[in-house]
Amino acid sequence: FLANMATREGQVSDRAGSSGRDASSYAPFVKGYLVAYNVVQSCGWGLILINTIQYLSVNFGGIGLAQGVPGLYEKVRKEVLVFQTLAILEIIHCITGIVRSSVLTTVIQVYSRLFILWGVIEAVHGIPQTFGILFALLAWSLVEVIRYAYYASSLIGSVPYFLLWLRYTVFYVLYPIGVLGELMMAFTAMPIVKASQQFSLTLPNCYNMAFSYYYYIIFTALMYIPAFPQLYGHMMKQRAKIIGGEGKEKKD
């Protein structure tokens, strides 16, 4: 979530499909594909959001920091795996030049979310029941519904102001919630991974090398410390520019 902040939500250029280009500059089939991709992603994350809210409405009294959120991830697991993993296509968009974004930056962005999904939630026993996944799912789904809907509208050439406002406003609340959820899951996974030595390689071995998945998770979590304030500040500047300044002038 953290690594997605600057380009996924904060810049006019975006790997999902807008890329800062005028909508008329796309070939018709490319434009149609990008519109379809963004609509599918927005609807997919919308379904995840609806199912998450439905779970809360039924189980609100039975969840908490101690007992976690049993059954929530199982309710949305297939959809999360499909639509989050589908974001790999966004790397292909950059490689093929459909979207003018850095391939390296996009790889890092997609990997960061896939690491939390496949490397923590799916891989570490017990993580899908922790309370952090509720925060992550709510933040991920709300952000992605808005983001993909915004880019689909941009490609069509008609962005409702309320959608523009949401895209550059919801980060105030959703980014901290998403980061909190991811860190909660990472910290919960650490002692489990340390005790089981999951995905770790100790010496001696035939490869003559060692790897600690426990310390890799710690390293990843520590990256939030310098990155979050910088990217959050970037989003605030973007909001002032798009909604409070240049963006509003262009709209008028």
Active site residues: 175, 182
CB 180 within 8 A of CB 41: no
- The full length of the chain comes to 252
* Contacts by 223-228, CB closer than 8 A, 24 or more apart: 223/2, 224/2, 224/179, 224/183, 227/2, 227/3, 228/2, 228/175, 228/179
8 Å CB contact between 180 and 221? no
Q: How far apart are CA 217 and CA 112, in angstroms?
A: 12
Q: Which residues contact 227 (CB under 8 A, 6 or more apart)?
A: 2, 3
Q: What CA–CA distances, in Å, run from 26 to 43, 149, 214?
A: 23, 18, 45
Side chain identity at 121, as an amino acid letter? I
Quick one: 180 exposed, middle or buried, by C-beta within 10 A (0-12, 13-18, 19+)?
middle
Residue 29, CA atoms < 13 Å, CB-side half-sphere: 0
